[in-house]
Amino acid sequence: MKEKRIYLVGNPNCGKSTLFNQLTGLKQKTGNFSGVTVEKREGTLTLDDSEWIITDLPGTYGLGGIAEDKKIAYEVLLSRKPEEQVIYVLDALNLERGLQFLLQIIDMGVPTLVVLTMKDVLEKKRIQLNLEKLKKSIGLQFVLVNAKSGEGIDTLKEVLKNPNSFQKRPRIWTWGTKEESFLTTAKRKLGITTNEAEFFLSQSLKYLNKDPHLSEERYFAKFPEETKTWLRSAVEGKGYHFYYQEEMIYRSFLIKKVLADVITYPKSVPGSWEEKLDRILLHPILGFVCFFLLMGLLFQSLFSFAELPMDLIESGIANLQSFVESFLSEGLFKSLVTEGIIGGVGSVIVFIPQIALLFLFIGILEESGYLARASFLMDRIMGKFGLSGKSFIPLLSSAACAVPAILGTRTIENKSDRFTTIMVSPLVMCSARYPVYILIVGTVFSFPPIFGIFNVQGFVLFSMFFLGMIASFGFALLFRKTVFKEDASYFVMELPRYNVPSIKSLFHTVYGKVKSFLSTAGQIILYISVLLWFLSHFPAEYKNNEWKTSPIESSYIGTIGKVMEPAIEPLGFDWKIGISILTSFAAREVMVSTLAVLYGSEENEEGESLRSTLRTETRADGSLVWTPLSGLSLLVFFAFASQCMSTLAVTKKETGTIFWPIVQFLYMTILAITSSFLIFQLGKILGFS
């Protein structure tokens, strides 16, 4: 079977990922772009006797500039093999913006097919697009689809079968008279006849003109010394304007002319519901009310809607343990499998419904167009903390995971903004904290719902999210006033249209995130659960044909815990919590499996859930370990502590030095210990327990 490669390229929010899902279905895998830690998605599409490997490149508005997402798309297209092709995804409602990028792709000499999305919205808005004229003007094949419903996808697949559908064509826009004349002369003198060679020449001319967007010599260096000497003498001091910004202006002239010929808008557009909704969601007061209501709804739903599936999973894990126990004889192996592996891993799997709900909610916010509006809204507040609205989406993305959030800062061109966002992103509550928070909140705040509707646990969880955001803003201000003093960048963005989220796309998003959570965190949890089981059962001795294990207090883990207990007692923690804090440095959610293994090592004939077991845990003096005060202290510790090796690793990667992850770890750890200590000690003084 022939194997071919296609890159999906386009602007953000143009329907690229939805089209990717339509073409590849579930046949996807994720990885990193070579040399950079940015996730890429690949999928396969089989048509007749050919298999297409489709790579979804990061959405970007163009190839020029210094933002990392632009660089990645640029480098992938530059280093592609000649036979590799591009499907350019073009939002039919944002043709002017999308055609700018398309003309850059054409200039590079890439074989391209254009897929126009938003067919349904065009029809709904009664906007007429003359596709034949557009094809003739641009010189490429265009296919109009509705990526959400799949309308037009079969036609697209038929078009893909024809190798002539991907076309290359010479540059279709022109520079100013002076520059175009020189370019023609240079091409003739140097014997340049192909798109690729002309692209290298134009990039070299920008370099010689000292274009701030092109400071590297890579293109110019490809020419022989004789050519380089001639180009220098012909360009330098002659007043040519070979700049990226000039190029955009000249492309705009052509685009406006083309659009005037191919697109017809309805004569009058009445005040739409989108405009009315924007007046509320972007209102300086009502907008924030809506934002916090939405966040409150999210955290209420995490407890209210996930309770039933959690109970089902818990009982399923208990049944699995009983089933396995019935097949295994008494001994260490049975204990390892049921307590160490099933108990440890199962204690985290039980939180999958909440994690899936979280990703579903964030996916809906993003696909509906609300996330961009929240970013616009928050720009007003973030400006007071020295950041622009560009930092809000990475910060809100931290609610899922700090690692992609830090990678997402590559879209921030201002270095001070970017580094500040990287340093404070881990303070925002991430999904890895949810299992820990939900366990603690469910254990110590088990109060009945207020008015029978509002869940107290949901309020506490929302407060933790709010605390994380406030802390990140506060430290952002501190960093901007001390270390990163450069002026904040301006925030300019085009608000996307409101869209009904695609169920298929949401399914893929949630499925992919949960799968990633299970495959990455799950492996760490498994390894640590096995290690903890060993440390909590040994030293052991073999007597009378059976292994006699140590009580947990005198096991290896018990000995380590007892040594560290005096240091953490002022925070309200006992030695078992101390051990779970240590192991959670590998991944925050490991704390839950650690507690499950530690408590599973003790006799628990009632088969109670972990939360029930924790509620009855006592200290040597008979007082309860898990109280609202100690629980609050632990919550705040986890809110601020830098308990994530992956985050520190990606911070090092993105800042290019070990210095900033060390600073990040130290300031977060000091903040966590100090806050926990103050909360527990002040709470005790005030008479709380």
Secondary structure (DSSP) of 367-412: HHTHHHHHHHHHHHHHGGGT--GGGHHHHHHTTT-HHHHHHHGGG-
Task: Give the tokens for residue 139.
Answer: 């010189």
Is 669 within any annotated ligand binding site? no
pLDDT of residue 78: 81
34 pLDDT tier (thresholds 50, 70, 90): very low
Instruction: Please state, as a whole number, how many other Cβ atoms lie within 10 Å of the Cβ of residue 624.
Output: 15
C-alpha 182/C-alpha 505 separation (Å) is: 49
28 pLDDT tier (thresholds 50, 70, 90): low
- For 347-379, what is each residue's pLDDT tens digit? 667 777 877 887 788 788 877 888 778 877 777
Is 31 within any annotated ligand binding site? no
**Report for 29-38, 519-528, 611-620: range of highest mean pLDDT:** 611-620
- For 510-521, what is each residue's pLDDT tens digit? 887 777 767 766
C-alpha 420/C-alpha 208 separation (Å) is: 34
Instruction: Please state, as a whole number, how many other Cβ atoms lie within 10 Å of the Cβ of residue 120.
Output: 17
- For 107-163, what is each residue's pLDDT tens digit? 888 899 999 887 777 777 777 888 888 898 888 999 988 887 788 888 888 888 888
Please give the share of the chain, as a percent, with pLDDT higher than 70.
Answer: 86
- Helix and strand counts by DSSP (H, E) for the chain: 30, 11
**Residue 90 carries which DSSP code?**
E
Per DSSP bridges, beta strands 128-129 and 263-264 are antiparallel
**Residue 163 carries which DSSP code?**
G
- For 52-71, what is each residue's pLDDT tens digit? 888 888 777 777 655 666 67
Residue that wins the pLDDT comparison between 311 and 467:
467
**Residue 197 carries which DSSP code?**
H
Q: Cβ-count burial of 358 within 10 angstroms (0-12 exposed, 13-18 middle, 19+ buried)?
A: buried
Is 37 within any annotated ligand binding site? yes
Domains in the chain (CATH in brackets) are 4-161 (3.40.50.300), 177-264 (no CATH), 281-524 (no CATH), 528-686 (no CATH)
Mean pLDDT, range 649-678, rounded to an integer: 88
Residue 607 predicted with pLDDT over 50: no
Q: How many residues does the chain have?
A: 689
Q: Which residues pair with 543 in a beta bridge?
A: 546
**Cis preceding linkage at 539, omega within 30:** yes
Q: Evaluate whether 641 touches 668 at the Cβ level (below 8 Å).
A: yes
Is 16 within any annotated ligand binding site? yes
C-alpha 437/C-alpha 429 separation (Å) is: 10
CA distances to 248, 356, 433 from 666, rounded to whole Å, are 45, 32, 19
32 pLDDT tier (thresholds 50, 70, 90): very low
C-alpha 610/C-alpha 315 separation (Å) is: 12
Mean pLDDT, range 280-289, rounded to an integer: 86
Residue 627 predicted with pLDDT over 70: yes
The phi and psi torsions of 47 (rounded to 5 degrees) equal -130, 120
C-alpha 427/C-alpha 464 separation (Å) is: 10
Strand order in the sheet with 28-32: 28-32, 39-47, 50-56, 2-10, 85-91, 112-117, 142-144
Q: Evaluate whether 8 touches 19 at the Cβ level (below 8 Å).
A: yes
Per DSSP bridges, beta strands 50-56 and 39-47 are antiparallel
pLDDT of residue 604: 45
Is 143 within any annotated ligand binding site? no
Is 59 within any annotated ligand binding site? yes
496: left (phi over 0), alpha (psi -120 to 50) or beta: beta
Lowest mean pLDDT among 225-234, 407-416, 583-592: 407-416
pLDDT of residue 672: 92
Task: Give the tokens for residue 617.
Answer: 């845990």
pTM above 0.85, yes or no: no
Mean pLDDT, range 564-585, rounded to an integer: 84
Is 289 within any annotated ligand binding site? no
Instruction: Please state, as a whole number, how many other Cβ atoms lie within 10 Å of the Cβ of residue 567.
Output: 11
Is 38 within any annotated ligand binding site? yes
677 pLDDT tier (thresholds 50, 70, 90): very high
Is 11 within any annotated ligand binding site? yes
C-alpha 558/C-alpha 563 separation (Å) is: 9
- Average pLDDT of the chain is 79
Is 514 within any annotated ligand binding site? no
Is 566 within any annotated ligand binding site? no
> Burial letters for 635-651: b for 16+ Cβ neighbours within 10 Å, e otherwise?
bbbbbbbbbbebbbebb
Is 17 within any annotated ligand binding site? yes
Residue that wins the pLDDT comparison between 345 and 177:
177
Nearest Cα to Cα of residue 308 among 346, 343, 354: 354
